[in-house]
Structure 1
Amino acid sequence: MAFDETYDVVVVGGGNAGFSAAISAAQSGAKVCLFEKAPLDDAGGNTFYTAAAFRCCFDGLQDLLPHLYQPDGTKGLPEELVAMIDMKPYTKADFHADIRRVTKGRADPALANVLVDNSREAVQWLMDNGAQFMLSFNRQSYVVDGKYKFWGGMVLTMAGQGKELFEFHLKTAKKHGVEVCFSTAVVDLIADPQTNGVVGVKVFKHGKNRTIGARGGVILACGGFQASPALRTQYLGPGWDLAHVRGSKYNTGDGHRMARKLGARLEGNYSGCHSVAWDGNSPRASGSREITNQYTKSGYPLGVMVNVNGKRFVDEGFDLRNFTYAIFGREILKQPQGVAFQVWDADGSKLLRKEEYADDVTTNLRAETIDELADILVTKGLKDKKQFLRTIAEFNEACKSFQREHGEVNFDPSVKDGMSTQGTTISLDIGKTNWATPIEKGPFQAVEVTCGITFTFGGLAVTRAAEVLSEATFQKIDGLWCAGELLGGLFWDNYPGGSGLTMGTVMGRVAGREAAKRANI
């Protein structure tokens, strides 16, 4: 078959998974081309918009210390800072338990094993290639008794977050000879008519179609369908066309469409997605290249969330934030008008992360009394001031009643502290399981939030080696791999925070090596 150009490996999609695949293939000796339909100034996929947190197994602080950086780029941490860190190991058993719990046991066990078993190695590969990681002090720790107490198992973030992660990948890819083509849409896969094996792609660039051969095969890493209102509504259900897109506007289901034409089997939670509490004043159709992940509003465990009718609708404290933030966007979207208000008193406000709640990031609504705050919320869409005040009063009384019954329980935001609204005397219809303290000390603060969709969970069925499976035969489609958010079967309803980027790197590396091997490299 004649092609305009031929490579050993072709990668579709320029986010973390795609670049991990391309770099790994190039490091295996392959001639690689990566196609990205976004222009350079709008590229990076969802990766660009993330906080660049990676969840991986580790043997405690000493395992990570030799590889850590400070915000100014200095390698290593000062001894006095190290002495203030309280960090437990995060074992494979811990990781598996978190996956089973948050996905309600639905995660494909084979894919879960691949993720967990290779998580530390994948992060080390990034480090060895020059990625600078820091401890996520602001995101994943609280100061308790003079110590930075890390919680939730996820402790690492890329310095510079998603913007820097994208720049790191781009620089590393070019260092290893990967040809990167921006503003180039892959519009179809090319298959051998006899075997149905993938031998190349058709691309559209500068107003022309071109055919590109791939001796080893093609790796699809072009994301989910979350940026398509039509596909969101088709798969996720009515109302999802109203969600705000948290990241790239280019993730519109191209990989699903192209693979499906070749008979690929769809897999996973097609009615599920990663969706967060997102700034109500954020852009609707795509994330902001400047604000990026700062539009996330994850401080709800420290206060309450109410809808425009003035009622709470979730247990804000049923688990640690990085095990709940990916599902609360859906719950907000279910509310009238698809919006809600997060509310704190002075004590809760002190613990909010500045990168999400600073005045130059979001519109903070403040008042000295809760009644005055209610009046402000009415101007922002609150329909029932009396119900709002009743909700806060009932919540406060439930908190105090529990504390009177359980004087031994103390507030601790770094663990599930058991500080609840559900006592013997008073128990709310919708309780708060942890971190339940009265909202009564002024000044008070609130922000408006909506649903921000990050990525969709339904994708392509794959083997442990990232090979895409056929719906007709349940065998692999020769020459076709998949990595990143396009992969289906691992995440269901929820996911452990930080595991998406890790899985992208894990399966991207697998796909890159396997495609290079098939090209006889």
Structure 2
Amino acid sequence: MSAKVIQDYDVVVVGGGNAGLVAALSAAETPGTKIAVLEAAPKEERGGNSRFAGAIFRVVHNGSSDIFPLVHETMAKDKDRVTIGPYTREMYARDMLKTSKGYCDKEKMEVMFDHSLEVVQWMHSKGVKWQLTLSKFYDETKIHGDGEKINMHAGGCLMAKHEGVGLTDDIWAAVEEKSDSITPFYGHPVVDLLATGDTVHGVRVRLRDTFLDFKGQVILACGGFEASPRLRRQFLGEGWDLVIVRGTRFNTGRMMEKAIAAGAGDTGHFGGCHATPQDIQAPKVGDLRVTDKMSRYSYPYSVMVNLDGHRFMDEGENQFGLTYAKTGGAIGRQPGATAYQIFDQKTLHLLEPRYSTATPIIADTMEELADKIGVAKMEFLNTIRTFNDATQPGEFNPFKLDGLNTGDKLAMPKSNWAIPLDKAPFVAYGVTCGITFTYAGLKTDDEARVLNNEGLVMSNLYAVGEISGGFFAFNYPGGAGLTKGAVFGKIAGKAAAEAAKSDQTVVIRNN
């Protein structure tokens, strides 16, 4: 089939999620810029992984004085129910370095810190509506005392109203208001780069009966390879080809592979990914009817066991926002990629509202519960008994690291929120592994420009969001991914528009 070359654009954005749309809106701020947004999905499925996200943005801030002005008027009541302290650069860096075990690009990390608050304020000006995360993670009717305020964890306090659906609806609305400069193309999967050596001229789109070529500065914002069973098995290992895909079915890694084949450098933790506990009955691929409602993140208040009846991780290692992205992988490594979160009546009120989409398994005794969930009975009963015996007296506080732990009594300790499971009836929820996004991808500089294998800039090519690698490894601080995508999307959009207008391209840069 021959390619039909259509009119040139100044900027061609590949992907219609958070990072890509922010890039398009940023490019549109340069007067006269013509931008194409190429979305592989049909219009009804637009939005990429962002549409399935909980839509938390982790930003550097000084506390409520920075956060409260962003909260939409319809959610203003939440401001009276919480206190929010500052989340400093130092705190953010500590969380990034701990979760990645130091395997993160520290220069780009600093760029994100510099612009994180600014970018959510800018998105607010574009029509994105924000709220506090209080109602997402707790049933407010069950946790509030008279006049009691909750001290929210400062790193995960801000989210888009109506989560990923609200986020992408708001950004797409802003894009559609810019119809004089931004043109979306749905059902236009990009399949290749158009390049001469290290100079990129545009991209090729595959349609049902032809190819179309789009010319211009190219911003790749088309996600990682999490929706490709082949690449998951190749890079992540045995069993990963069978896991649940939480997000869009269109993030197949095609353009990561094409860019690498064209000479782009690759970087990051190819064996790592963001993977979380999902309901055992969750859809096999992201379903817009449920978005992220099948997530099961209240495990810090549980004892979690596998089918052999054994605990396999420290459920209370840290706040769930700093552990949930590795917990899915831990579950995936268990027999049958299955685990059960066990609660008693002392902690049921702490379950996220999302648990209402699950079918709980309830029993009056642990013996009965073991039979109902189908785990190895004697091992399970021994696990619960030894755990209960290892717990220590102290004040249980679900809203901070309370230090209630099992000490050195267990081979697998629980570091916080370790209280005995002894108040019947007991409740179990079955969970499995769901992959969200992959950590490795294209090598970029701190201006989001793609670098070749020799560390030099590939002219006219940028990569933002999940396709850009080297930022996360092993684990992940919740909300940092969308922030990273927006920060570098805004940077790339501005740079691409200015480059297109000046017709000047940097050909060589040492990295």
> Are residues 152 and 436 of structure 1, via their aligned partners in 2, closer, same or farther at CA, if it must alter by over 3 Å?
farther
Match 1:435 to one of 401, 408, 417: 417
Partner in structure 1 of residue 114 of structure 2: 117
Matched, 1:181 2:181: no
SS in structure 2 at match of 1:346: coil
Aligned residue identity for 2:405:
S
Matches within 5 A, 1:69-108: 69-70=72-73, 74=74, 77-78=76-77, 82-108=79-105
What is the TM-score normalised by the length of structure 1? 0.92
Partner in structure 1 of residue 228 of structure 2: 228
What is the Cα deviation at residue 239 of structure 1?
1.1
Q: 1:137-172: per-residue Cα shift (whole Å, max 9, x none)?
A: 134676588112202521001111111111111111
SS in structure 2 at match of 1:327: helix
The answer to whether the 8 A contact 1:304-1:316 is kept is yes
The answer to whether the 8 A contact 1:11-1:21 is kept is yes
Aligned residue identity for 2:402:
D
Partner in structure 1 of residue 469 of structure 2: 488
Matched, 1:198 2:193: no
The answer to whether the 8 A contact 1:140-1:155 is kept is no
What is the Cα deviation at residue 255 of structure 1?
2.1
Tell me the distance in 2 between the aligned counterparts of 1:113 and 1:82: 29
Aligned residue identity for 1:413:
P
Partner in structure 2 of residue 451 of structure 1: 433
Tell me the distance in 1 between the aligned counterparts of 2:488 and 2:111: 8
Partner in structure 1 of residue 70 of structure 2: 67
> Are residues 36 and 84 of structure 1, via their aligned partners in 2, closer, same or farther at CA, if it must alter by over 3 Å?
closer
Aligned residue identity for 2:493:
G
Tell me the distance in 1 between the aligned counterparts of 2:229 and 2:208: 27
Q: How many residues align?
A: 492
Matched, 1:242 2:224: no
> Are residues 136 and 292 of structure 1, via their aligned partners in 2, closer, same or farther at CA, if it must alter by over 3 Å?
same
SS in structure 2 at match of 1:447: strand
Matched, 1:387 2:387: no
Partner in structure 2 of residue 510 of structure 1: 491
Tell me the distance in 2 between the aligned counterparts of 1:371 and 1:90: 45
Match 1:130 to one of 124, 127, 132: 127
Tell me the distance in 1 between the aligned counterparts of 2:434 and 2:341: 15
Partner in structure 2 of residue 363 of structure 1: 359
What do you get for the CA RMSD once the two structures are aligned? 1.6
Aligned residue identity for 2:350:
L
What is the Cα deviation at residue 224 of structure 1?
0.4
Partner in structure 2 of residue 168 of structure 1: 170
Partner in structure 1 of residue 34 of structure 2: 31
Partner in structure 2 of residue 281 of structure 1: 281
Partner in structure 2 of residue 414 of structure 1: 399
Tell me the distance in 1 between the aligned counterparts of 2:493 and 2:81: 40
What is the TM-score normalised by the length of structure 2? 0.93
Tell me the distance in 1 between the aligned counterparts of 2:212 and 2:128: 34
Gaps of 5+ in 2: 503-511
SS in structure 1 at match of 2:276: strand
The answer to whether the 8 A contact 1:370-1:440 is kept is no
Percent of aligned positions with the same letter in both sequences?
Answer: 38
SS in structure 1 at match of 2:370: helix
Q: Answer with 132-141 or 150-159: which moved more.
A: 132-141
Tell me the distance in 2 between the aligned counterparts of 1:373 and 1:6: 64
What is the Cα deviation at residue 123 of structure 1?
0.6
Tell me the distance in 2 between the aligned counterparts of 1:40 and 1:325: 31
SS in structure 2 at match of 1:343: strand
Partner in structure 2 of residue 323 of structure 1: 322
Aligned residue identity for 2:40:
K
Partner in structure 1 of residue 339 of structure 2: 340
The answer to whether the 8 A contact 1:152-1:322 is kept is no
Partner in structure 2 of residue 13 of structure 1: 15
What is the Cα deviation at residue 66 of structure 1?
2.1
Q: 1:103-126: per-residue Cα shift (whole Å, max 9, x none)?
A: 111111111111111100111111
Q: 1:42-75: per-residue Cα shift (whole Å, max 9, x none)?
A: 22110010111111011111222222125xxx37
SS in structure 2 at match of 1:105: coil
Tell me the distance in 2 between the aligned counterparts of 1:95 and 1:140: 21
Tell me the distance in 1 between the aligned counterparts of 2:45 and 2:168: 11
What is the Cα deviation at residue 244 of structure 1?
0.6
Q: 1:207-243: per-residue Cα shift (whole Å, max 9, x none)?
A: 21111111xx100000000111110010011111121
What is the Cα deviation at residue 261 of structure 1?
2.0
Aligned residue identity for 1:419:
L
The answer to whether the 8 A contact 2:104-2:472 is kept is yes
Q: 1:311-334: per-residue Cα shift (whole Å, max 9, x none)?
A: 000000011100000001111111
Partner in structure 2 of residue 22 of structure 1: 24
Tell me the distance in 1 between the aligned counterparts of 2:362 and 2:266: 48
What is the Cα deviation at residue 13 of structure 1?
0.7
Tell me the distance in 1 between the aligned counterparts of 2:154 and 2:472: 18
Tell me the distance in 1 between the aligned counterparts of 2:137 and 2:330: 23
The answer to whether the 8 A contact 1:51-1:162 is kept is yes
Tell me the distance in 1 between the aligned counterparts of 2:136 and 2:85: 16
What is the Cα deviation at residue 299 of structure 1?
0.9
> Are residues 464 and 246 of structure 1, via their aligned partners in 2, closer, same or farther at CA, if it must alter by over 3 Å?
same
Partner in structure 2 of residue 211 of structure 1: 213
The answer to whether the 8 A contact 1:227-1:250 is kept is yes
